[in-house]
Structure 1
Amino acid sequence: MKIGVMPASFRVPFKEAVIKARDMGAKGLQPYVTGGELAPENLTKDDRKAILKYVTDNGLVFSALCADFGLNFRAYGENEEGIKRTMAMMDLAVDLGTNVITTHIGHVPEDENSIEYINVCKTIETLGKYGDSIGVCFATETGPEKAIKLRGILEKVDTKSAKVNLDPANFVMLCGQDPVEAVHILKDYIVHTHAKDGVMLGQIGEGRYQELPLGTGGVPYIEYLAALRDEGFEGFLTIERECGETPEKDIQLAYDFLTDALKKLY
């Protein structure tokens, strides 16, 4: 497994974040491409080549792109513009040398016969089929849905490119899902992961949680990483730090924690 970083977590401009990630020893980057300097609509072909060269010249690759801008997956038939925007980000992934984009699909109803549940599946399938045609995985980030429910959704869609970006902290913080169990349930779909930690505050469904520095929350990281290893995952553990007053320090601590943990597993 390799360690990556979300450049936005450094809270500095992209090129500065690349240098910080390089100096830390990270091997990959997953930037947001939903706005600003890395949004598809703001990049010419030459811009894309220059960005890729800058990243690779610094010894890094793009592990994935984050395409999370709030697309309403439950409104299939009314979300065409959002689907087109996501497809543009998938095209950008090709230009930047990665084959994964990730996003949240939002809460999915329990009733599999409801129009909203069916619409979620249709939206995923539409994006997945586009991914089939260009070689890019559309990876759903884990969140409010338990692993078995998410797997059920992915099994229903007619595409090979609908995959999973596994965020173990989201499972712990939002729905009380054991991340180790989740790895085994979702093993056939995991193409990218986030390295984050946290705890749930209150009861499942209340939406109260706290993100914490890696190794200090509710994710059993040694067992979780062992499960990924045992299932043959060799991709990225991409550090994401969404809060805290000392992001660079927290990212370095996360990198050191993961480095030590991986040494114990291999």
Structure 2
Amino acid sequence: MVMYSNKIGVMVDSFKLDVRAGIKKAKEVGADGIQIYAVSGSMDPDHLNKDQRKELLNYIKSNGLTVSALCGDLGGHGFTIPEENAWKIEKSKKIMELAKDMETDVVTTHIGVIPEDETNSRYGVLQDACEKLGRFGDRLGATFAIETGPERAKTLKKFLDSLDCNGVGVNLDPANLVMVTGDDPVEAVTTLKDYIVHTHAKDGIMIKKTDPKIIYDFFAEGGIGDLRLEDYFAEKPLGQGKVDFGAYRKALSQIGYEGFLTVEREVGENPERDIKDAVNFLKALLR
């Protein structure tokens, strides 16, 4: 029987508690590590001085945990609007510095929908922003990881191949692919193998296919008319959606990925139970 060496992480914010209570819950459900949103509130890098960062890291370690990644998703339309990018790039750099202080090299985010057409003006805007952050990551020893979902894996790979830096990678979320683009997560692992630095463990189903840009515009704008997201996709507990986790895990092993599988649960009335069930599901998968 194959034994996998991956560690299991959980998104602290999925517990819907404050950061320290979420860290304690992560330990209680049996996780090895945590991912934390670091864009506002107590985790805003502007609100954490050097001593506070050290104290937080010590608290994480005292619970037997490590940080798998920080989430630096600044919302809106990502980096597709040129007028917003100056402040978003500077904020993202601060989050990458905070990540290093938390002893992780990874910051994950959504950058906005990458157009398939390279002549689309948004393509160049995204390239410029990602190259600035990627070069900063090169100097810092950190990776700015684009989360899968808004575009197909082959479109994301083409975009990454076009960048003149090494500090931009991929946070592979298999459920986003299944729910929004209809991509096969196993094929996505192979396509993006040179870039994967972190993964989410999430499951779901597509109900009705539509343009992914419509879905992500809905998230960015807090709703669009009478559009109902539940008509298009649904997140499910691990093992109850369309992600073939056995094949997905095998594919990750075949490309040599030994990093975290981090549980992200964005719906559900009892997040603690759901996250604990997900951790147990992954433990069985990794045996």
Indicate the TM-score class for this superposition, using the shorter chain for normalisation. over 0.9
**Number of residue pairs matched?**
263
Note the C-alpha offset of 1:110: 2.2
Secondary structure class of the residue paired with 1:111? coil
- The answer (yes or no) to whether the contact 1:99–1:136 under 8 Å persists in 2 is yes
Matched, 1:211 2:235: yes
Contact 1:5/1:238 (CA < 8 Å) preserved in 2? Answer: yes
1:5 matched residue in structure 2? 10
Q: TM-score, normalised by structure 2?
A: 0.89
Residue 261 (str. 1) matches residue 285 (str. 2): yes
Which one of the candidate residues 248, 261, 264 is aligned to 1:240?
264
Q: Hey, what does 1:66 align to over in structure 2?
A: 71
TM-score, with structure 1 as normaliser? 0.96
1:5-52 per-position Cα deviation (integer Å, ceiling 9, x unaligned): 000111111111111111222111100001111110111110000000
Distance in 1 (CA, whole Å) between partners of 2:256 and 2:191 is 13
- 1:212-264 Cα deviation digits (max 9, x unpaired): 1111001011100010011110000000001110111110110111110111x
Gap runs ≥5 in structure 1: none
Which amino acid letter does the alignment assign opposite residue 28 of structure 2?
D
Of 178, 183, 189, which residue of structure 1 is paired with 2:195? 189
Tell me how far apart the structure 1 counterparts of residues 277 and 195 of structure 2 sit (CA, whole Å). 29
Letter in 2 for 1:209: F
Identity fraction in percent: 48
Q: Give yes or no for the alignment of 1:23 onto 2:23.
A: no
SS at match of 2:36: coil
Letter in 2 for 1:106: G
Letter in 2 for 1:244: G
Any conservation in 1 of the 2:37–2:43 contact (CA below 8 Å)?
yes
Name the residue aligned to 1:32: 37
Moved segments of 4+, more than 4 Å = none
Segments of 5+ residues of structure 2 without an aligned counterpart are 1-5, 216-231
Instruction: Give the secondary structure class of the aligned counterpart of 2:14.
Output: helix
The higher relative CO (CA closer than 8 Å, separation ≥ 6) is in 2
Matched, 1:227 2:245: no
Q: Hey, what does 2:128 align to over in structure 1?
A: 122
RMSD: 1.2
Contact 2:201 2:264 survives alignment (8 Å):
yes
SS in 1 for 2:25: helix
Q: 1:203 Cα deviation (Å)?
A: 1.6
Amino acid in structure 2 at the alignment position of 1:116? R
Q: Conserved in 2, the CA contact under 8 Å of 1:76 and 1:122?
A: no
